[in-house]
Every structure is written in C-alpha cells, then in structure tokens.
A and B are shown apart, each in its own frame.
Chain A
Amino acid sequence: MEYKITLRKQFRALRFLIVGSILFSIAIYTFFSKVGYDPDIALFFFIYYLAELVPTLFVHIEYYLINKNDLFTLNSIQRTFSFDDRDAISFDQIEIIVLVLSPVMYRDSNLRFFPFDSYHYAVIIMKDGKRFVITNLMTFRIDLALKDVSGVQIERRRRFIASPSLYRFWSAVWN
C-alpha cells in the first residue's frame, strides 16, 4: 500500500472544521435573528471560533510540512516499508512505533469534540535511532494502516492536541 498526501485526504481531515463552520454560521445567524445583534456576544463567538480554528490549522499545516513530498510504502507480505522510493526497510529493524492520538481517538470513540480531534501521527523509531513520521494526511486512519505492520510493538500515547512540535515543547517543559 502506498500512502501520500492528497487533496482529498486533506479535505477529509478538514471536514469537521468545514462542515462545522457552515453549521456554526447558520446557528449564529439564527441566534442573532431571534435576540438581535449584540457585539459582545459576537466577540464571544469570534473568540470561540478562533480557539477551534487556530489549533486545527496549526496542526494541519504542521502535518502538511512534515509529509509534504513523502511517499510511504508498506508491504505487509514482505514485511518491509520504504520512504520516498528509497531502499525497503524490514519491520525487524523497527524498535517501536509510537502512535500519538487525541483523547477521543485513544479510547476508539467515534465522537469528536474538536476539529483537531481526528488528527494523529505515528513515529517509527528504528533500532539505529532513525525516525520516520507519518501523519494522518497520508492516510486518514494510521492505526488501521499500521495493522499491516506485524510483529512490531506499537505504543499508543494520548495528547490533547496531537502536534509533534507541541509534544516536544511539553516534553521539554515537564522533563
């Protein structure tokens, strides 16, 4: 199986934000039609929307920059994977795969609370210390794609926002 970023996958990742924004706009219009326009409540809506929009776009752009031109190929029969048409690497050379998920994805819930809840990524850590990062812009459900990777330990970690840079930041702060 080959995985890479496509426009369709990007829209799939942003679907919650796009559909949510349309429904939210309709809800705001209906609300103000009923009670009349109030600039303070409009400011409240604006701040709320920014709080949803900014982290989602941040994670999306970050994921895009990480895997922009990457091609991840997984061969479950030969038990190998490759990045960007380089030599195939055996699954045996993988030390561990760390799968970073949002809390709702961590407990396999289908319900999403925030637009950034569906964003997740995996770090393939090799025995020689090399690291490869796969984000869900390459495949919408990495956990399902990784089912083809047999005989490798997969560690699931829970983060409120599954962002590699925020993860590094918080790790540096707490350690």
Chain B
Amino acid sequence: MNQSKAWFSVIGLVAAVVVAACGGSSPQSNNPANETGTLTIWLMNGSAPQAVVDGVNADFKAKYPKVTVNVEIQQWGDIGTKLDTAFAGSTPPDVVELGNTLVAKYAAAGALEDISGKKPSFDNSSTWLQSLTDSCTLTGKLYCVPYYAGSRAIIYRKDYFDAAGVQAPTSIDGLLTVGQKLMAAHSSDPNFSALYFPGKYWYAALPFVWDFGGDIATQSGGKWQGSLNSASSQQGLNTLTNLVGSLSRADKTGDEAKQDQAFAQGHVAMIIANGWEVGVITDKTNGNPSLADKLGAFPIPSHNSGQTAPVFLGGSDFGVAAKSPHASLANAWVQMFTDSKHMAEMATVGGVIPNTTSMLNLGTGINSTFYNAAKNSKFVPNSQNWANVENANVIPDMLVKIFTKQQTVADASNAASTKIATILNGG
C-alpha cells in the first residue's frame, strides 16, 4: 500500500469513526417485534451460570425476534485493557458487565451512557443494594445498573474439621489455633494447607486490615492519603502474614485463580472465597462433586472474639456504552436481565447476592453465610482513579513482597501507600 492510499484509508477511518459517533441513534419503533439490530454483550467469566444467560436471551428473543444478541465471555485478568481499547474504538460492545470498582473510571471518561432518567424502568430500582448503587453513581448521575454482589467468607471441609476435632473458629486467634491443629493432623501430606492463601489475593487480605481499624486510603480536603502503612493497617497485615506463614502452602506469588481447583483436589481445609465458588469446587467436570456434602462456611472472624471482620463487597454492574448505536435495545436487555425473575435465578442458581434487598431472604443453606457477610462490608476508595491502582497491582505486589520476606510489613506498606496516594490524586 502506498502512502497516499494509506492516507486515504486514515481519512476514511477517521470519517467512519465520526459518522459512527454522530449517527448513534437507533430507529425508534413502538413495536418490539419490528426492532432490528445486533447487540454485543460482554459478560465476565464466572459471573452468571450459562442457564441464566440462555434464559434471558430466550426471553429477549421472544420479545425482539429480529434482534441478534451476541454474548461474549471475557476474562477478569486483562479486562481493563480490553475495555479501554473497546471504548476507544467506534464500535464498543453495547452492554458491558463492569466490576463495581471499575465503573467510576469509565463513567468519568465518558464511556458510559447516563441512565439517570431511565432508573424507574428497571425492576426493584428503589431497593437496589446501596453499595452497588453507589458504585454506579458519579457526581449525582447514574451510569450503570447494579447486577449482583458477592462477599467472601471461609469455605471449609467439615470432614477435616471433624477428624481433627475442631470447630469453626470465632476469632482470628482461634483461626490460627484451628489451622495449626489441622496442619498437625495432616503433617504427612507435604501439599496440605489448612488455609490456602495465594500471595496476590488482596480481596482476602483487606478484611484483616479493616478488622484492626486500618484502611487503604482516606480522603481529607479533596486529597487522598494512603493508609495501608498506618499502625492499625500494619497490625492487620502482620496478623495475616503470621496466618499465611503458618497455615498456607499456596503459591506466595500466585493469585486466587486456581484456588477452587486446589481445594477440589483435597489438600486444602479452608479457603477464603465467594459463595458461588462452592459451585466451582463441586462442578461435575472441573471440580469434585463428592465434596458437596462435606463443605461448610463461616464468616472471616474478627480479632475481637465473637465478631466478624468487615469484608470487601465485590460485585458487578451493567453499563451501556455511550457510543452504542442501539442504546434503547441495550437498556431493554439489561432491564430483562435485572428483572425479578432472572435476579431470583442468579441468587438460587448462581449463588450470588442479587441486586436488591428484597431478595436477601433467598440466601439459604451455605449461601446464608455469604449473604450475612455482606451486611458487614466495606469498599475500596470511591475514586475514578481507583481502577488504575488495581491495574498497577499495587496491593498484590505489596502482599507478595511481605509474604516472600523481600520487605518488612513497614517498608512494603509505606511504598504501597505512597503509590496509592499518587495514583488516587491523579498522578
């Protein structure tokens, strides 16, 4: 291709982008049966069971027979990069599932449609979980629809606990004692972990920081100050380091992606996990179904005996791309997925916490532990720059440095606090 051709194609591309950006309105029609178009939906791996997604799409097809829906499953690992490039392009996916810590970044950058005016059109919007609604709200405007929440607790092997003669602990000290007894009972297994804790698992590390009164960062006078190096945060990190050092043989430089498989293989007594991970562990093809009646759950205990530690409230929201040419159809699809019928399925089939307080009674059996954990939950700093802290791996890096003894808790947490403050304050 010669240069003038190259220039022509550059000009052509720019023109196409401009035209696509300007001509974004979808044909308005009152009859759903006549609506046409193709919706591209990005869902995250592991969020919704395929049966629920298929059910939503079948219902959508029944109402909008001429609309094609393409659901693409994305991986969490590199989603930030993929979203950046997708939103920068002229044809981003129409609907994206966004981790609740990522919404502020994309809303602030103008990537998501402002749906404040459409809020009443979504089922249960008056009883949405407050923390998810907060994650969707930026400067008073609504940019996404709460999808589901997840909070972590400890999944354990009841048979191992019985064999070692221990009960679910009610304090961090108790957790250490129980873990040590389990380690002793399995001392012949060199792969055994009483509490399997991969080094980069920062979601599971935060409860320990919060439990001692520490935090990631605090805001005063519009400026963020890192606080992972505060005395209380360091106390939490020291406690966790001691637990990990005594009870875990998980990879100190690894992340939690493999923990359910490791648990299913049987060399693990406890993991800190979301409720839906029970399903992964007992999955017929990739897990170990025989564990189904051997699993129990208890909340992450506090250092104050009898209390529980605050947990990170994870979750996902649905955003509609501001550049979507089919915004109304996209919103219709989100309305369908978040309606009462499918939210109830997410709770019962998917094992997650649905987006509305009106369905919190759906958590029964082992799930009730995870539902209850959400009641004592905390969130990451609410800043549009938070996603950059996550993408820069600041907290996982700090944990790895501490667990592998490359740095002391004081040095590693000082470095992380400085870095977090710099990123949150926009540098």
Are A and B physically bound partners? no
